[in-house]
Amino acid sequence: MWEDFKKFALKGNVLDLAIAVVIGAAFGKIVTSLVEDIIMPAVGILLGGFSVEDWTYTFNGAELRYGAFTQSVIDFFIIAFSIFLVIRLFTRMKRKKDVPAEEEPEVLDKKEELLIEIRDLLSKEKAGQ
């Protein structure tokens, strides 16, 4: 069982996935901070101090904080769009890397050039007969 687990855990895909999860979590924190600390305060300033996070509705003594939910939905869309842009950038970079470069013409030495000329002359002679 231990050997099977080692084979599974050390496969390239599992390691790639683990690395992607760690990087994704760190990236998520960065984008969340960007949304909470920069974008939403800037939106609030532009809208004259308006904040959806403070929206509440009180019903029979129970406070429904639907503004916090609305803020979470806005955060999600901003984070999802940011991740989309990063993935799009990486796929474009990968596509450019995958495009094969134009092959440089093969440089022949004198002997090869002479052999090619002889071959071409012989094929012309055969075609003329």
If one counts every other C-beta atom within 10 angstroms of the C-beta of residue 35, the result is 20
Distance CA 83, CA 47 (A): 26
**Look-up of token digits 């075609």:** 127
Query: What's the topology of domain 1-127?
Result: 1.10.1200
Query: What separation in angstroms does the CA of 114 have from each of 104, 108, 118, 119?
Result: 21, 10, 6, 9
Q: How confident is the model over 105-122, as pLDDT tens digits? A: 677 788 888 888 889 888
pLDDT for position 129: 63
Domain ranges of the chain: 1-127
Closest CA to 77 of 32, 41, 45: 32
The answer to whether the predicted template modeling score (pTM) of the entire model surpasses 0.85 is no
If one compares 60 and 32, the residue with the highest pLDDT of the two is 60
Q: How confident is the model over 38-96, as pLDDT tens digits? A: 887 887 788 787 777 888 999 998 999 898 888 888 878 887 887 788 889 888 888 77
